[in-house]
Amino acid sequence: MAMVSEGRTITIGDSAMETILEQFGWYVRDDGFVVDEDGRYAPASSGYRIHVDDVCGVAVGEQGEPVVARADFNDLCDLAARQRGAR
């Protein structure tokens, strides 16, 4: 994953992403899917279960809860629209 801020690119590797997810009580299973402490799939902005390779960050869900944001153009557009209150 790479983030761009003020013309700088910050690349976050797999181990760093796992550390970030752990701050929200989410973990990466052996098969790569993100789950909570009870083994349930972590809430995702797309509503689908999410693989660590598809994570682009953490966002605010519709109920104000943290959700895993999926690195998919359509999902990110939908998430942005919800964040702006357009949907």
Residues of the domain holding 76: 2-84
Question: Any idea what DSSP says for residue 8?
Answer: E
Task: Report residue 87's pLDDT band, with 50, 70 and 90 as the boundaries.
Answer: very low
Q: Are 32 and 51 in contact (CB under 8 A)?
A: yes
Helices (H) and strands (E) in the chain, counts: 2, 6
Domain count, the chain: 1
Q: Residue 16 is encoded by which pair of tokens?
A: 């760093």
Model's pTM, two decimal places?
Answer: 0.73
For 23-48, what is the mean pLDDT?
91
Q: Residue 20 is encoded by which pair of tokens?
A: 């970030």
Q: What is the pLDDT of residue 1?
A: 53
